[in-house]
Structures are given as structure tokens and as C-alpha cells.
Chain A
Amino acid sequence: MVTTVASEGDHRIQHYARFWQTEDPLADAVAAAFAERAAGGGRAMLETALNRGIGAVDDPPPALVALFKQLDEVPYWVDWDKVDRGSAAFLRTGLLGMAVLNLFCLPIMYYSPCGNKPLVFTGNLLKRAPRRLAETGRFVLECSRPGGLRRFSDGFKTNVKVRLMHAQVRRLLWRSGRWNSKWGAPVNQLYMAGTNVALSAGLIEGLERLGYRMGAGDVEALLHLWRYTGYISGVAPELQISTREEGRHLGELIHQLEGQPDDDSRALITALMSSSYHPRLEGAAWTQKVNYGVSRKLIGDALADELGYPRTHWGWTVSLARPMAGSLGLIHRYVPLLRSVAPRWGDRTWDFMLDLIMAGSKAEYHAPAHLARPAPEEKAA
């Protein structure tokens, strides 16, 4: 799929297509080294390195030392004041931010027909959609908390763990014997960068579509926070974005490389939209309709149709929310008292909601028994 587009002569796409096959050598080497130890051995080393520093690890494998050399080195461009401002800007969004994450950011991430394969590699993995929703939310929250990305903070630790989990996913999928290299590498650089863009520039875009506008300084700070998050996550420097414009270009590039969503994208969307935010709401049909309606309004009809969204009448909720969200944005920008207390409220709201989602994530969904898009070898067979 990449080669088809590249052959059309777009040199920029050709240049970036290589990231389709690029993984994360530092993290992959650690996963390989840890695989040689007994179960739990690698995790214990990782915890020590995260909590007490690489120097506290007894006889660390060279791969772990190399990874922490990169992690412990804070890039020259990191401005901690700006990171903290980005953190506050995000937390202020509270419930709105969460809605945008679930109904705008995640759907555009799931759009990716190749990037979504690790999430649907077996039919049963779809059942994890609600849990993943809560885990993604938790990851975003911890990265965005004040000081969350400082070396020994939870956000930093979670970020490193997620990076190594991705490395382990790559090992598992490559070794399954069923990964199709035409999908690129599992959890490749473009996918990691795309996720980073979706959770930063994408979140800002989604909030604006909902009527909530941040000030230019806050936007810049939030992007800065996510640029450093990308650095910790192992996103290649060339794919780390500093501006919304860069994010938009990268998003378009990935979109051109990936092509149209497939049945797996639609299956993931179904699982996401069926996720309940509260155990009591589990199975309530109207919540699904609301999710689809709001999400369609946010991502637009074209994408929604491609992703197989049913048409519902609940889009009006967005129209209703826009003036309120807009007002809230203005208050956050111009009312100093509320600007300073809103991050704390937002933090609590996120915490509360994530606990609710996690409690509801035990629900299971009907999932196809097999991958919607079979590998070419399977097709041939």
C-alpha cells in the first residue's frame, strides 16, 4: 500500500514511508534482552531503573543501559515551564478533553487500517477496547499532570513502560508467523508519531470543533508537552511535532500512506462506541447513539461514513455544547481565579471518570473470531 502511493512520485511520501518499517531499536533491544530472563526478571530491573535510576540496577543488560542513556538525557529544547503550562492547559479541559479524546482522537487513530492491526490481531483483542480506553486515558492524564514528565514521576514511568510494551507487542506479532510485512512493522514509527499527533494537535483540533479554544500560548505549551512525551515514547526526532501545522502535515501524510479504513477499523469503532462510561449504563442503547452522534459531528460526515458510523439525531448535543464550551474556554483564558483552579478540578474529573470507565471495562463485546483483513498468504490459501 505504501509502494503504490510512493510510485506516484510524491517524494515526500516516499521519504517518510521508510518510517513505516522503522521500529524502536532501543526499546526492542531491551525487550530482546529481557526475553532471555525468567518471567518477572526484566520487569524487576525496569522498575529499579525507573524508580532508582539505571545505576541502581545490578548488572543491567547493555540494552537497558543504552535505553536509559537516551531517557535520562533531557533534550536541550525542553522548557519545563512550558511543559507545566501545557499540563495545566490540558487539565483545564476536564470532561471536554475526555469527550474529545474518546470521540475524536481515538476514532482518528483507529481509522488507520495498518496501525490498527496490533489492536485486532486476534478477534478476542477487540474485547479489550473498553479497558484500552481507560488505559489510554490514564496514560494521557499521567503524562499531563504537573511534573508528570519529570524523571521519577508517574507520567514518565508510564510512558517508558508503554514504550516497552509496544516493543514486546512487536516481538509477539513478528514471532506469531502471521504478521504481514505489508502492514509495515507492528507499532511502527509512523503509528507512534500519529498517536502523538492525535493526542496533542488532534486534541486541540477536537476541542475547537466542540467550541473550546485555547490561547496561542497554551496551544504551543500543550504541543511542547507532547513533543517531550514523544521523545520519551521513542518517536523519531524527525517525526516529533512543534506546531499544529506540522501535526496537520504529518496527519495528512499518514492518511495518504495508510489509505482507507477497513473492517478492522470499523470493528474497533464499534467496540469503542459500545464502551460504557459507567457500569450502570452498560448495555444502554442510547449511550451508543449519543457517542456516534457526537463523534460524527466532531470528525465530520466523510470520515464517519468511511468508519461506518450509523446516522443518529444526537449531533445536536454538539451544537448545544458549543456556546457553553466556547464560554468555558474564554473563562479559562481570561478569568485568573478560574484559570488557576480549573486544572485541579480537571484532574479530579479525569480521575473520577477513568475509575468509572475501568469499572465498566469488564463488559465484553461480540468480536469476530478472525482478523477482518487476512494476510495475503491466507487469502492465497
Chain B
Amino acid sequence: MKSETLPTLSPRDWELLREHVTVIHRPRGEVILAEGGHRRAIFIVKSGSVRVEQSQNGLGIALALLGEGEIFGEMGFVENVPASASVIVQDDAELEVIEGDALESIKASDPGFSVRFYHGLAISLARRLRLTSARLSRAGAGEAAQVNRHRVARTGNITARQVPPALGDRFDQFEQTMLSVKLALRAGSLDAEAAARQLSVGCDRVAALLEEYTDSDPLVEIGYNDLLSFRDQDHLEAGIGDYVFRETFGTLLLSATMARCYAKPRGFPDDHETMAMIMAGQAQGDDRLGPLIDRWFLDRPLCRTRRASAELMRRRLGAEVAACPPGESIRIASLASGTAGELLDLCAISEGAAIEASLVDLDGEALQAAARQADRLGLSDRVILVNGNVVGPPGEVVSLLPQHIVYALGLCDYLTDDEVVILLDRLYELVVPGGCALVTNLSPDNGDRLVMQHLLDWQAYHRSGEQIRALFARSAFGDRAVEIFADATGATVFARCIK
């Protein structure tokens, strides 16, 4: 019996504690400490694992998973207040328990023990406080890759002389098209299908204009138009994007899905509700044009690839599960999971296979939605929801049990190269030998790259299969073979590697 949590205790102190320890065996799912309950004792995990879980809107969301050697109950012991979270056995666990009364008696008999015990707890708590402070001082920097809280000002990138007059003319035409469709719909002189076609052509032209004017040659020419504005190509591309955004904002954001993608109410673009709208593919929006524009957007490469990649992930996970020996319990973790519809669907249909799903996400709301869905599907006992970061400094990332399959669907889109390598290292760490890691990334072939960047303020890293392969090579996976494939649209690249 020894824990890193109490580093100041001497061997003699541990001897004393051992005399008062009770070893208990608890099966999976048993509640050791109930949130709000009052039990004054310190627990040390001897084997197996437990999860620390907090109730959010009546749904249990895990805050941490504790494995061998880790300690819990010490906070309640010091404060003597009801437990702030439940502790539930994750994997059949053997625990060492030191009851509060026994501890008090040791403290009374050996004042030196008391000093060392509290010193150890103080070190442990100080360590946690330091991590929390660091996290707060970075203002969520550890999550910045996933959470874009601030928008940049969209001015000052280009001068009036640099905006090509021909571009202005094209937007005049766009406005006229939109207005004429709107008036025709109002007058009832155009049916919805014909209106949708006209509108789609008009909106496609906007996307095409972005492509045309952000190409290298036009940008050089635009730069030449006003050299003393000292604009580089990236400024000019952003400036053209700003211009197109301003010209189309009022119209395109009548689409409910586009408006949500732009607004990012959860602080990041791919939140679970946005994804639900994209997955459902049901056009919504304001005014007469809104639903039609939404329909256009939902049929764009971005939405198609989001749907196709989720479906492909579900199928690939199914294939991985099918390849596992029958009857074996299979652990699958989804990182930055959102509601992980693909995984829950798989759990629901793979009744023969004992899948244990761990969903890890920073967004508690997404996890609650996943919990509700798991509940509806009768999967609550097979799904663990963990609220935490998967890429961050040591001590900040959530701990998970070793997994057979770990995947991150769409996460790499928001990570720099270095962060992707950290993620891959994390995947390597989590996957059991012979287990499988799967990640996806938007490919440079995504036809909506510019629409995302300039019209939806949706910044994403696009990578080719070769680029992802190179990142695997930089990670702990090293020179292991990486299988690269794409979804049906070709706009999302998948990479799979076996540890």
C-alpha cells in the first residue's frame, strides 16, 4: 500500500496505516461514494479502476478515471463535508480503505504522523491548485485548438483601390438574382423548386468567385493595384474574403445552418447541435430565401463530407469490432466525441459484441445529449461520459483505461501539426498493443475550404493523407504502417494505424 498522493509519509507511517486498512473488492458499477453523501474515509485504488462522476442535469458525467495507486476521499476527509462527486467502480476494483476514525486515532497517537499526513495532502492539493491556476491563466489556451472564443476584426486587410471592380459587378448581379427570386416567390410566380435552382446557381457563383479571386495570379494583380498599401498575399486573400462576406452576409445567413456555423454559440463550429442539423439535412431558415439557401448549403461539400465521414467511421468501427475475437469485451474511446452518434449506433447494433464506449469531450452539453441518447438506446451501462481535454499539458488531460480502439473524428481539423502529434502520442498511450487508432482530417480537396474560412469564419487545418502520415511518423507510432483512405466525398481523409 503506497500512494504518490501522500509522498511525505515515512515507511513507518505506512506500517501504521496498514494496520488499520481494510481491503474491499467491489464489482463494476458499484457506487463507492455517492455525490452529496457523507463518508469520512480515504480510499486507495489497489487494482482495477473507478470513475469520479458528477451529475449534470440528472446525467452522470465523468470528471476523471482513477487507476492503481490513486487516492480519493481525501478532500471530504479534510473538509468533513458531503462528497462533491460520486465515485463509481469502473472496472472490478480492489480498494484499500482507511476509515476516518482509524486515521484520527493514528494522528492522536503519533503527532509526527499528523504533520506528515497533512503535509502530504497539502502538497497534493497544491499540485492540483497549480494546475487549475495554470489552466485559468492561459484562459483556456489548452482548449484553444478546439474552442475559438474570439473572432478577429475583418477590416484593414485590403484597400478600396484593391477590390477589383469586376468583383463588385458580380455581387451586384448576385443581389439582383436573390432579390428577383424573393420577389417571384412572394408573387407566387416561381415555384420552390425553380427558385431553389436559381438560388443555388447564384450561391455557387459566390463560392466560385472566392476561388477565382483568391488564386495566386489575381492576388498578385490586386496587390499591384495599390502597392503602397503594403498588403501581402495572405492579407489580400483575407481582404477579398472580408469583402465577399460583407456582400453576402445578409443573404447567406438567412440559412439556419450557416447562421449557426457562423455564430458558433458553443464557441466552436462543430458543436453537437450544428452537427445534428447537418446530419439531419433538413433545410431551415428565415424569410422566403432562408430554407432555400439552407438547402443549398446542406448539399455543399462540407455538409456532405461531415455526413459521409460519420457514416464511414461507423462502418470502420464496425469492421474493427468484427475483427476482434467474439465474446471479448471491446473498449472504444471517442476523443472530442460530441454526441458520438456513430459509436452509440454501433453499440446499439452490435449486441453480440460487448462494447464499452468512452466518450471524451470538453463540451458538457454534448455529453449530456450523448447520455440522453445512450439512455434511449438502453446503453447507459456501456457508455462512460468523460468531461475533459484530450490534448493539453500533463495533468490536464483526462485519464482513460487502455482501449482497443481510439478514434478522433474531426478533431485534427482544429489542431496544429504539433498538437496533432501530441494527440497521436496520446492515442498511442491509450491503445492496447494490437489496438487501433483512427483519426480524420479535412482534406485540401474540400471544396468548401474558402466558404468555411471566409463566409463562416470557420478556421480549419486541411491536410492530405501524406501530411497526416508524416505526423504519425513524428509521433510515438513512429514507422508503423498508416492506412490512408477517404470518405465517399473525398473531402475527409482517414488515417488508421495499429499499435
Binding site for B on A (CB under 8 A): 31, 34-35, 37-43, 46, 121-125, 128, 161, 164-165, 168-169, 171-173, 175-178
Q: Indicate if B217 sits at the interface (CB-CB under 8 A).
A: yes
Q: Which of A38, A123, A172, A177 is in CB contact (< 8 Å) with B232? A: A172
Asked whether, in the complex, the Cβ of B230 is within 8 Å of the Cβ of A125, the reply is no
Report yes or no: B156 in contact with A38, Cβ–Cβ below 8 A.
Answer: yes
Bound Cα distance from A171 to B234, whole angstroms: 11
| A169 contact set on B, CB distance < 8 A | 224, 227
Contact A35 B159 (CB under 8 A): no
Rounded to whole Å, the gap between the CB of A166 and the closest CB of chain B is 8
Q: A39 CA to B156 CA in the complex, in Å?
A: 5
Let me know if B157 is at the binding interface, CB within 8 A.
yes
Central interface residue in B155, B162, B218, B231, by most chain A CB within 10 Å: B231
A38 surroundings in chain B (CB, below 8 A): 155-157
Name the contact of B230 in the complex, choosing from A123, A168, A175 (C-beta under 8 A).
A168
Chain A residues, CB < 8 A from B158? 39
Bound CA span A155–B230, Å = 21
Partner of A175, one of B156, B157, B232: B232
- Given A168-B223, A173-B220, A35:B228 Cβ within 8 A: no
Find chain A residues with CB under 8 A from B216 CB.
176-178
Choose among B156, B219, B228, B232 the residue with the greatest number of A CB atoms under 10 Å from its CB: B228
Beta-carbon contact of A176 and B159 below 8 Å:
no
* Chain A residues closer than 8 Å to B221, beta-carbon distance: 122, 124-125
* A233 vs chain B, min Cβ distance (A): 15
Q: Please, how many angstroms separate the alpha-carbon atoms of A172 and B118 in the complex? A: 64
User: In whole angstroms, how far apart are the Cα atoms of A356 and B233 in the complex?
Assistant: 34
Cβ-defined contact, B159 with A122, below 8 A: no
Interface string of B140-163 (1 = CB under 8 A from A): 000000000000000111110010
Q: Tell me which residues across on chain A come within 8 A of B173, comparing CB atoms.
A: none
CB–CB A40/B159 < 8 A: yes
A172 touches B224 (CB 8 A): yes
Nearest opposing residue in chain A for B223, CB measure: A172
What is the CB-to-nearest-CB distance from B294 to chain A, in angstroms, rounded to a whole number? 34
Closest 5 CB pairs of A and B: A38-B156, A34-B230, A165-B227, A122-B217, A168-B227
Asked if B229 and A172 sit within 8 Å, CB to CB, the answer is no
Q: Tell me the bound Cα distance from A128 to B232 in angstroms.
A: 20
The answer for the CA separation of A177 and B230 in the assembled complex, in Å, is 18
Residues of B near A175 (CB, < 8 A) are 232-234
Structural contact, A40 and B229, CB atoms closer than 8 A: yes
**Cα separation A46 to B221 with both chains bound (whole Å):** 23
Say yes or no for B235: interface residue by CB 8 A criterion.
yes
- A165 & B157 in contact (Cβ 8 Å cutoff): no
Least CB distance, B179 to chain A, in whole angstroms: 31
CA distance A315 to B221 in the complex (A): 36
Q: Which residues of B contact A123 (CB under 8 A)?
A: 217
**Within the complex, what minimum Cβ distance (angstroms) separates B444 from chain A?**
15
What's the minimum C-beta distance from A24 to chain B, rounded to whole angstroms? 14
- 25 A/B residue pairs, CB under 8 Å, sorted by A: A35-B231, A35-B232, A37-B230, A38-B155, A39-B235, A41-B156, A42-B229, A43-B230, A121-B220, A122-B221, A123-B217, A124-B217, A124-B221, A125-B220, A125-B221, A169-B224, A172-B220, A172-B223, A172-B224, A172-B227, A172-B233, A175-B233, A175-B234, A176-B233, A177-B216
Taken together as a complex, chains A and B put the C-alpha atoms of A176 and B234 apart, in Å, by 10
Distance between Cα atoms of A46 and B229 in the complex (Å): 10
A residues within 8 A CB of B227?
A: 164-165, 168-169, 172
Within the assembled complex, what's the spacing in Å between the Cα atoms of A328 and B217?
Answer: 47
> In chain B, residues 322-374, which have Cβ atoms closer than 8 Å to a Cβ of chain A?
none
- B14 CB to closest chain A CB, in angstroms? 60
* Those of B381-440 within 8 Å (CB) of chain A: none
A38 to B158 alpha-carbon distance, docked (Å): 8
Q: Is B239 an interface residue (CB 8 A)?
A: yes
A28 → B minimal CB distance (Å): 11
The interface residues of chain A lying within 8 Å CB-to-CB of B217 are 121-124
Q: Which of B188-221 contact A (CB under 8 A)?
A: 216-221
In the bound complex, do residue B232 and residue A171 qualify as a contact, i.e. CB atoms below 8 Å apart?
Answer: yes
The complex places the Cα of A122 from the Cα of B220 at a distance, in Å, of 8
Q: How far is the CA of A370 from the CA of B233 in the complex (A)?
A: 19
Chain B residues, CB < 8 A from A34: 230
Q: Tell me the minimal C-beta distance from B46 to chain A in angstroms.
A: 59
CB-CB under 8 A from B232, the residues of chain A are: 35, 171-172, 175
B237 shortest CB reach to chain A, Å: 11
**Would you call A39 and B233 a contact (CB within 8 A)?**
no
Smallest CB–CB gap between A99 and chain B, Å?
27
Known: A39-B157, A175-B233, A178-B216. A164 touches B224 (CB 8 A): no
CB-nearest residue of chain B to A169: B227
Q: Which residues of B contact A173 (CB under 8 A)?
A: 220
Which residues from chain B contact A43 at a C-beta distance below 8 Å? 228-230
Nearest A residue (CB) for B158: A39
In the complex, A171 Cα to B158 Cα: how many Å?
Answer: 16
Is the CB–CB distance between B224 and A125 below 8 Å?
Answer: yes
Q: How far is the CA of A26 from the CA of B217 in the complex (A)?
A: 27
CA gap between A38 and B218 in the complex, in Å: 21
For the complex formed, measure the closest distance between the CB of A108 and the CB atoms of chain B, giving whole angstroms.
23
In the complex, which of the residues A128, A161, A176, A178 contacts B228, with contact meaning CB atoms closer than 8 Å? Answer: A161
Q: What are the residues of chain B within 8 A of A177 when measuring CB–CB? A: 216
- What's the minimum C-beta distance from A298 to chain B, rounded to whole angstroms? 29
CB distance from A235 to the nearest CB of B (A): 19
Whether A39 lies near B228 (C-beta < 8 A) is no
Chain A residue numbers with a CB within 8 Å of B218 are: 122
**In the complex, what distance in Å separates the CA atom of A178 from the CA atom of B231?**
18
User: Which B232-251 residues sit within 8 Å CB-CB of chain A?
Assistant: 232-235, 239
Distance A42 CA – B230 CA, assembled complex (angstroms)? 7
Do residues A42 and B157 form an inter-chain contact, with CB atoms below 8 A?
A: no
- Give Cα A128 to B218, complex, Å: 14
- Shortest beta-carbon distance from B272 to chain A in Å: 37
Per the bound structure, the CA–CA distance linking A121 and B231 in Å amounts to: 17
What is the bound-complex CA distance between A31 and B223, given in angstroms? 13
Decide yes or no: A39 and B159 within 8 Å by CB, A124-B217, A175-B233 being known contacts. yes
Whole-angstrom CA separation of A299 from B217 in the bound complex: 33
Residues of chain B within 8 A of A171, CB atoms compared: 230, 232
Known A41-B156, A172-B224; 9 more pairs at CB < 8 Å: A35-B235, A39-B235, A43-B230, A122-B218, A125-B224, A168-B230, A171-B232, A173-B220, A176-B220
In the complex the two chains form, what is the Cα distance from A125 to B228 in whole Å? 17
Tell me which residues across on chain B come within 8 A of A124, comparing CB atoms. 217, 221
A42 to B229, CA, bound (A): 7
Asked whether, in the complex, the Cβ of A39 is within 8 Å of the Cβ of B220, the reply is: no
State the Cβ distance, B135 to closest chain A Cβ, in Å.
Answer: 31
Which residue of chain B has its CB nearest to the CB of A166?
A: B227
Who on chain B is nearest to A370 by CB?
B217
- Cα–Cα distance between A309 and B15 once the two chains are bound (Å): 103
Q: Bound state CA distance, A178 and B230, in angstroms?
A: 19
Please tell me if the beta carbons of B220 and A168 are within 8 angstroms of each other in the complex. no
CB distance from A184 to the nearest CB of B (A): 18
Of residues B158, B216, B229, B234, which shows the largest number of chain A Cβ atoms within 10 Å of its Cβ?
Answer: B229
CA of A37 to CA of B155, assembled, Å: 11
User: A164–B229 contact, CB under 8 A?
Assistant: no
Q: How many whole Å from A26's CB to the nearest CB in chain B? A: 15
